[in-house]
Structure 1
Amino acid sequence: MKFPVFISLSLLLLSISMPSSHANSPIPTQKAGIEKTLFGTFPDGRTADLFTLKNAAGMTVQITNYGGYIVSCTAPNKAGKQEEVTLGMTTFAEYLKGTPNFGPIVGRYGNRIAKGKFTLDGQEYTLATNNRKNHIHGGPKGFDKQLWTAKTVDGNEPAVVLTYLSKDGEEGYPGNLSVDVKYTLQKDNALRIDYHATTDKATVINLTNHAYFNLSGMKDDILNNEVMIRASNYLPTNDEQIPTGELKPVAGTVFDFNKPTVVGAHINDTTDVQIRYGSGYDHCFVFTDTSSALKLGATVYEPTSGRFMEMYTTEPAVQLYTGNHLSNNLVGKNGVQFRRRFGLCLETQHFPDSPNHPNFPSTVLRPGKAYQTTTIYKFSVK
């Protein structure tokens, strides 16, 4: 069927006058690309680099190959002003001295393993213990303390690929584990992290990033942030924050974030034993969709700045940590005091202590198989 010419022209004119679906896209303010600079020097003479990734929308992310730290990440507020949205330190010396995990790659195993022990294929392995009597975040010399090899990818969506060989026996883990982690700053103001690993011997692996987010632009704590987590269950723990093995429904509890909920609403509810154990939120939330599909897992909204962050992941769970143990005398970038609950973490992962819980999704990686996960933190305003 043919339309009259005047109708076709009218439709054409209408389509031209209609606003584009990208009308609210960020306005380009800088040239996209990546820059490498010297970040610092180790006592033994080795050097660490700082990689500055920029997109055309004005967002900037800085990554160092020492520990894979996110040193800086900016995002616009509702007025379009770019400000810091992750906690970090100013100098390489401060990172070398140690931070409360301000944005490094965490491995081989993010979160806790009870008593630093697990059995795999009939053999017991003993790991370094650095969290009371337990193992946490890969040990005292985990991936956050290693110098990674870096390769850059320039362009409109700049990226840096970090690689590291974790040798058999490192921190007590079996197998030579080859790891690469790719940070990509996308055009849509999203920071994408792709993790990949292979091994020559059966081992366990649970990689994540430990960034602390503060969407206020470092002007306030995170208690007024509205958090949504698409989780049907969470993992209760004992008083050392080791999972009991139970998956408990969030419905009717202070752990129900299926609807956007202000972080501070129940964070001090010490009538809940789990809140007491974590001194606030420091718990693993199990997504309703535990598949390996890339899906929306959580959001954070900071009402004063208008910043909105969406977190997408292929992982089955996320650890929500609300900065309960940050020190009030810790001073970070730009002289900002990182006091208690000044940042929150959304650490995408498999379950903590999985090697000791057969009912949890397996974290075992075997020769000939590849470990592959993706997490995206996307920033916008509303």
Structure 2
Amino acid sequence: MSQISKRKSVIYKGKEVALYRISNVSGAYIEVLNYGASVVSVVVPGADGRFANVALRYETIEDYFTDQFYLGCTVGRYANRISNARFVLNGQTYNVEKNDGVNSNHGGFNGLNKKIFDARINENSITFSAESVDGEGGFPGNLKFWVTYSFSDENRLRIEYRALSDKETPVNFTNHSYFNLSRQDADISNHEIQVNASHYLETDNNFLPTGKILLLDNSAFDFRKYKTAGEMMPLKKDNLRGYNTFFIKGRHSGIAASARSASSGIAMDVYTTMPGVLLYTGDFLSGRFGPMSGLCLEAQYHPDGLNHAGFEVNILRPGRTKTDIIEYHFYNGERHS
């Protein structure tokens, strides 16, 4: 059974922002923050039994209030980009906030990553809840949102998203944790990556989908077998050193994507109910975090899906609760069932 404790808290904008720890029987633990419903730490054993944090984190709670990189946070209402900050739903055009040039990214200026969530401690999990009013960021509908974190004795970090709206509205939630599974490498170029997909979305130089769904065969994006990020990046021909790429999950795949570090022996598998995973290699990290010091495997719906026929979009229907799951399984040695 998990042990849950509140570690520390501060008052911000008149509300309590608290750091919680969920520990399992082995002493491994995660830490989560009700600001942005964020993952702060994931502390798991390496092959030698020594524990290490494998998620990039800030040192203080206050640092999260000025975060520019979506570090560990819950992203929404709509993860990733919406081209020209505009979409059409049921014949009506909606203009959302332009926080990425002429485009919208990760829900605009005041997305879920900026909210102070209410917290409820359950027997083996923590549920954070928040509301987004009709028109916030330009999105329709009064949205109620819950994210529940749990951490099992098998070192499985499970994230459950649940949402309810009083109007039809598009949603696309994800977790934006940056992982570095090595205890000694400054960047993730030596991480081995595997993605269970056969197709990916082509993007332009602004990381917007062109609408083309491409096969992985003979491309710089073919991670169907374990390959390091470093060996694949020189094969790319775009304007980014690393990856900011959405892979469409195989319909019958259990594990959506995996990453592992030979130096620590720590591996991570990603499971999700959502249709794909975006691999981001942290190229734009800066300041206290160097470029490529962590990688994201963001389970989500198709980026800019509202503006492309054939892309999968998650539309909430009024009064109907929708749930999606992301699970990160951390282990060392052979993969466990």
TM-score (norm 1): 0.84
* Counterpart for residue 297 of structure 1: 256
Greater helix fraction, Structure 1 or Structure 2? 1
Structure 2 residue matching 1:296: 3-state secondary structure: coil
Instruction: Decide whether aligned partners of structure 1 residues 32 and 184 sit closer, same or farther in structure 2, where only a CA change above 3 A counts.
Output: closer
* Counterpart for residue 62 of structure 1: 31
* Counterpart for residue 284 of structure 2: 325
2:308 aligned partner, one-letter code: H
- In 2, Cα distance between equivalents of 1:251 and 1:122: 38
Instruction: Decide whether aligned partners of structure 1 residues 218 and 159 sit closer, same or farther in structure 2, where only a CA change above 3 A counts.
Output: farther
Match among 344, 348, 352 for residue 299 of structure 2: 348
2:67 aligned partner, one-letter code: G
1:245 aligns with 2:204: no
Deviation digits for residues 273-299 of structure 1, max 9, x if unmatched?
Answer: 3xx2x442001001121x7xx821111
* Counterpart for residue 3 of structure 2: 33
1:48 aligned partner, one-letter code: V
Deviation digits for residues 155-182 of structure 1, max 9, x if unmatched?
Answer: xxx3110111111011110001111111
Structure with the greater alpha carbon radius of gyration: 1
Post-superposition offset of 1:38: 3.4
Instruction: Decide whether aligned partners of structure 1 residues 140 and 279 sit closer, same or farther in structure 2, where only a CA change above 3 A counts.
Output: farther
- In 1, Cα distance between equivalents of 2:82 and 2:30: 32
1:233 aligns with 2:202: no
Deviation digits for residues 189-246 of structure 1, max 9, x if unmatched?
Answer: 1100011111100100000000000001364311111100001100001221110111
Post-superposition offset of 1:60: 1.0
Post-superposition offset of 1:362: 2.4
Structure 2 residue matching 1:240: 3-state secondary structure: coil
- In 1, Cα distance between equivalents of 2:224 and 2:152: 27
**Where has structure 1 moved over 6 Å in runs of 4 or more?**
none
Q: Trace 1:4-15 onto structure 2 (pairs within 5 A).
A: none
- In 1, Cα distance between equivalents of 2:116 and 2:53: 25
1:188 aligns with 2:154: yes
* Counterpart for residue 5 of structure 1: none
Post-superposition offset of 1:359: 1.3
Greater strand fraction, Structure 1 or Structure 2? 2
Post-superposition offset of 1:39: 2.5
Q: Quick check: 1:88–1:103 contact (8 Å CA) kept in 2?
A: yes
Q: Quick check: 1:355–1:363 contact (8 Å CA) kept in 2?
A: no
Structure 1 residue matching 2:113: 3-state secondary structure: helix
Deviation digits for residues 23-53 of structure 1, max 9, x if unmatched?
Answer: xxxxxxxx840001433221x3322011111
- In 2, Cα distance between equivalents of 1:254 and 1:268: 8
Match among 248, 260, 263 for residue 286 of structure 1: 248
* Counterpart for residue 330 of structure 2: 379
Instruction: Decide whether aligned partners of structure 1 residues 184 and 218 sit closer, same or farther in structure 2, where only a CA change above 3 A counts.
Output: farther
Match among 247, 251, 255 for residue 221 of structure 2: 255
Structure 2 residue matching 1:346: 3-state secondary structure: strand
* Counterpart for residue 339 of structure 1: 290
Identity of aligned residues (%): 36
1:165 aligns with 2:131: yes
Q: Trace 1:15-54 onto structure 2 (pairs within 5 A).
A: 32-42=2-12, 44-54=13-23
Structure 2 residue matching 1:34: 3-state secondary structure: strand
2:8 aligned partner, one-letter code: L
* Counterpart for residue 71 of structure 1: 40
Structure 2 residue matching 1:244: 3-state secondary structure: strand
- In 1, Cα distance between equivalents of 2:308 and 2:185: 41
1:168 aligned partner, one-letter code: D
Q: Quick check: 2:160–2:324 contact (8 Å CA) kept in 1?
A: yes
Q: Flag structure 2 segments of 5+ consecutive residues without an equivalent.
A: none
- In 2, Cα distance between equivalents of 1:368 and 1:177: 10
2:106 aligned partner, one-letter code: H
RMSD over aligned Cα, in angstroms? 1.4
* Counterpart for residue 144 of structure 1: 113
Deviation digits for residues 132-177 of structure 1, max 9, x if unmatched?
Answer: 21100111110000011110123xxx31101111110111100011
- In 2, Cα distance between equivalents of 1:228 and 1:355: 28
Structure 2 residue matching 1:339: 3-state secondary structure: coil
Q: Trace 1:104-123 onto structure 2 (pairs within 5 A).
A: 104-123=73-92
1:311 aligns with 2:270: yes
1:299 aligned partner, one-letter code: S
Structure 2 residue matching 1:246: 3-state secondary structure: strand
Q: Trace 1:173-184 onto structure 2 (pairs within 5 A).
A: 173-184=139-150
* Counterpart for residue 318 of structure 2: 367
- In 2, Cα distance between equivalents of 1:306 and 1:345: 19
TM-score (norm 2): 0.95
- In 2, Cα distance between equivalents of 1:195 and 1:138: 16
